[in-house]
């Protein structure tokens, strides 16, 4: 929404509770109520909580109403199945890091050719003009501006490794095992996940903070970091949380060590109750 404001693009925000996945029915109702809406922008996996949104159902609803869908798959591409040929969408946006396990620094878009061809002279940014970049690359085989060659080379190596490891099914299986190991270990300690298992993606897990007077996140973060693990602070507006990622070149043994580091850090702080309020 903030980006659209800078670009001067009219937009409608559909507010959804932080612990609930996007509802295709509500999206359909919003499209029926406002014929001026032309495009729907949908995040596939929302890393603020770890929710996996029902993308196939959302794509079907948007297409049935004659609107266009743009998918943010930054945190899901490469692990969660997305059939861009069968699923009605105009474009999918992802990047070199996250589930592809390359280094961050390069974004890319998978777009339907007719949608890209229709996008000429529509962009408000020279740097982000995909149509212009596409035309230039078709003509010259090059980026318009100096590319991050080290990031491209790293992504090539990451994709080679991705394919050698078994591709998307193997990547998803490893992340799912990481997630299950983490969640079961944390629940044994008394922690509660913020999300219901039915909407949890195996990408990043949000945990309720302990309801204990000795708990302090900055101190907790420091102690866990000293033990070799870096936590994500919570991003929610309604409750106190912290997050732990399940992706990257790690396996379940790393998740078990992370659970041990979390327990040791909190007990060292004098935290006795790991459960939320």
Same domain, 51 and 149: yes
pLDDT given at position 5: 87
Coil, strand or helix at 69: strand
pLDDT given at position 124: 87
Taking each helix axis from N to C end, the angle separating 167-189 and 252-269, rounded to the nearest 10 degrees, works out to 30
Query: In whole angstroms, what is the distance from residue 71 CA to residue 22 CA?
Result: 13
Query: In whole angstroms, what is the distance from residue 29 CA to residue 273 CA?
Result: 44
Same domain, 241 and 265: yes
pLDDT given at position 135: 97
* pLDDT tens column, 239-265: 999 999 999 999 999 999 999 999 999
**Of 114, 131, 163, which one is at a domain's C-terminal end?**
163
Q: What is the CATH number of the domain that holds 65?
A: 3.40.640.10
Would 203 be classed as within a structural domain?
yes
**Of 163, 182, 199, which one is at a domain's C-terminal end?**
163
Q: What percentage of the chain's residues is helix, strand, coil (to nearest 5)? A: 40, 15, 45
* pLDDT tens column, 150-185: 999 999 999 999 999 999 999 999 999 999 999 999
Same domain, 153 and 218: no
Query: In whole angstroms, what is the distance from residue 277 CA to residue 275 CA?
Result: 7
Same domain, 159 and 171: no
242 has which bridge partners? 207, 233
Q: Which residue has the tokens 């196939």?
A: 56
Same domain, 157 and 171: no
* pLDDT tens column, 68-86: 999 999 999 999 999 999 9
Query: In whole angstroms, what is the distance from residue 35 CA to residue 62 CA?
Result: 12
pLDDT given at position 130: 96
Q: Which residue has the tokens 């559909």?
A: 14
Is the confidence at residue 21, as pLDDT, over 90? yes
Query: In whole angstroms, what is the distance from residue 244 CA to residue 248 CA?
Result: 12
Same domain, 219 and 136: no
Same domain, 197 and 245: yes
Same domain, 87 and 138: yes
pLDDT given at position 105: 93
Same domain, 153 and 175: no
Same domain, 14 and 129: yes
Which domain covers residue 223, as residue numbers? 167-269
Same domain, 127 and 191: no
- Average pLDDT value for the chain: 96
Residue 226 CB coordination number (10 Å): 10
| DSSP letter, residue 200 | B
Same domain, 17 and 142: yes
Query: In whole angstroms, what is the distance from residue 78 CA to residue 94 CA?
Result: 9
Query: Residue 236 — very low, low, confident or very high, per pLDDT cuts 50/70/90?
Result: confident
pLDDT given at position 92: 98
Q: What is the CATH number of the domain that holds 206?
A: 3.90.1150.10
Query: In whole angstroms, what is the distance from residue 129 CA to residue 13 CA?
Result: 24
Is the confidence at residue 208, as pLDDT, over 90? yes
**Of 128, 163, 198, which one is at a domain's C-terminal end?**
163
Number of residues assigned to the chain = 277
pTM above 0.85, yes or no: yes
Would 277 be classed as within a structural domain?
no
Contact at 8 Å (CB) between 55 and 26?
no
User: In sequence order, which residues have a C-beta less than 8 Å from that of residue 115 and are 6 or more positions away?
Assistant: 68, 90, 91
Structure tokens at 98: 């996250």
Query: Residue 2 — very low, low, confident or very high, per pLDDT cuts 50/70/90?
Result: confident
Over range 202-229, report the average pLDDT: 97
């Amino acid at each position: 929404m903030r980006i659209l404001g800078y670009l001067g693009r009219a937009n409608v925000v559909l507010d959804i509770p932080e612990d609930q996945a996007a509802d295709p029915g509500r999206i359909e109702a919003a499209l029926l109520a406002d014929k001026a809406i032309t495009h729907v922008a949908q995040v596939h996996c929302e890393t603020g909580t770890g929710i996996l949104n029902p993308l196939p159902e959302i794509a079907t609803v948007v297409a049935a109403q004659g609107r266009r869908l743009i998918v943010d798959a930054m945190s899901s591409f490469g692990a969660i199945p997305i059939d861009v040929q069968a699923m009605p969408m105009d474009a999918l946006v992802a990047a070199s890091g996250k589930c592809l396990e390359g280094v961050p620094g390069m974004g890319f878009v998978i777009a339907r050719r007719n949608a890209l061809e229709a996008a000429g002279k529509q962009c408000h940014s020279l740097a982000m003009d995909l149509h212009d970049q596409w035309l230039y690359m078709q003509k010259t085989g090059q980026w318009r501006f100096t590319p991050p060659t080290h990031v491209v080379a790293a992504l090539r190596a990451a994709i080679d490794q991705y394919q050698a490891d078994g591709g998307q099914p193997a990547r998803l299986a490893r992340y799912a095992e990481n997630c299950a190991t983490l969640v079961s270990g944390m629940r044994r300690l008394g922690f509660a996940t913020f999300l219901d298992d039915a909407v949890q993606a195996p990408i990043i897990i949000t945990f309720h903070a302990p309801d204990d007077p000795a708990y302090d996140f900055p101190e907790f973060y420091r102690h866990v970091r000293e033990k070799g693990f870096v936590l994500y602070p919570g991003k929610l507006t309604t409750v106190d949380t912290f997050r732990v990622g399940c992706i990257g070149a790690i396996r379940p043994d790393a998740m078990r060590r992370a659970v041990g580091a979390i327990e040791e850090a909190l007990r060292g702080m004098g935290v006795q109750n790991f459960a939320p309020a």
